[in-house]
Structures are given as structure tokens and as C-alpha cells.
Amino acid sequence: MVLDLLRIAVAIFIPPLGVFLQVGLGLHFWLSIVLTLLGYIPGVVHAVWVIATK
């Protein structure tokens, strides 16, 4: 639980890093990078969603 809160805090500042800490190098990580490059908010939303559901 505490680690999830830490990952969410990291995801707010650097979304791909938060996803990487949760799932590693995979589809969600690369999708997070693309979404963050397209817009910061979609990257954050995706990162928090991945952390909350995994």
C-alpha cells in the first residue's frame, strides 16, 4: 500500500518512471512514454490507472 502511494507520487512527476516501477519494460511502459510525449495529463492518467489496477 505504501509503495503504491510512492509509485503514484512518482507517476505524477514522471509518468513513465511510475509505470516502469510497477510493470517494468513492457507495453504499458512504452504506451506511457507515448502518451506523456503527446500530452502530460494523458501520461499521468495512464500511469495512475496502471498503478491502481496492477
Express each pLDDT in 13-49 by its tens digit: 999 999 999 999 999 999 999 999 999 999 999 999 9
Report the distance separating Cα 17 and Cα 7, nearest Å. Answer: 8
The one-letter code for the residue type at 11 is A
Confidence band, pLDDT 50/70/90 cuts, at residue 54: confident
Report the distance separating Cα 3 and Cα 30, nearest Å. Answer: 22
pTM of the model: 0.89
Q: Is 27 exposed, middle or buried (0-12, 13-18, 19+ CB in 10 A)?
A: exposed
Instruction: Answer yes or no: is pLDDT of 2 > 90.
Output: no
